[in-house]
Amino acid sequence: MDSYGRPPMSIFTVEDHVHQPPLVKRKAGRGILLIQLVLLLFSVLALCGAASEIYFLLKVESSLGAAWNMTQENNAQKMISRSGFRDVHPMPSAHVTGLVVRDNSSSVSLQWEHSRGLAFLHQVAYNNGSLVCSKSGLYFIYSKLQLGSSKCPQKTENLRYTHRVLKRSSAVDIPMIENILRFCDSQGSLVWRGSSFLGGSFMLTKDDEVFVNMSHKDLIRVQEDTMTFFGMFMV
Look up residue 6 and give its DSSP letter. P
Cβ neighbours around 163 below 10 Å, total: 25
Contact 122, 89 (CB under 8 A): no
Q: Is the pLDDT of residue 11 over 90?
A: no
The share of the chain scoring above pLDDT 90, in percent, equals: 47
d(C-alpha 38, C-alpha 48), whole Å: 15
Q: Is the pLDDT of residue 85 over 90?
A: no
Query: Is 95 in a helix, a strand, or coil?
Result: strand
Return the top range by mean pLDDT from 4-8, 105-109, 192-196.
192-196
Cβ neighbours around 200 below 10 Å, total: 11
d(C-alpha 128, C-alpha 45), whole Å: 66
The share of the chain scoring above pLDDT 70, in percent, equals: 70
Interacting residues of 67 by C-beta distance below 8 A, sequence separation 6+: none
**Which tens digit of pLDDT belongs to each residue from 179-188?**
999 998 877 7
Q: What is the pTM of this model?
A: 0.61
Instruction: Name the amino acid, one letter, at 132.
Output: V
d(C-alpha 181, C-alpha 162), whole Å: 7
d(C-alpha 178, C-alpha 90), whole Å: 29
Look up residue 107 and give its DSSP letter. T
Burial of 175 (0-12, 13-18, 19+ CB in 10 A): exposed
**Which tens digit of pLDDT belongs to each residue from 148-172?**
999 888 777 789 999 999 999 988 9
**Which tens digit of pLDDT belongs to each residue from 48-71?**
766 766 665 565 555 555 544 454
Smallest Cα–Cα separation from 204: which of 105, 104, 93, 116?
A: 93
Inter-CA distances, 79 with 76, 85, 89, 90, 201, Å: 5, 9, 14, 13, 29
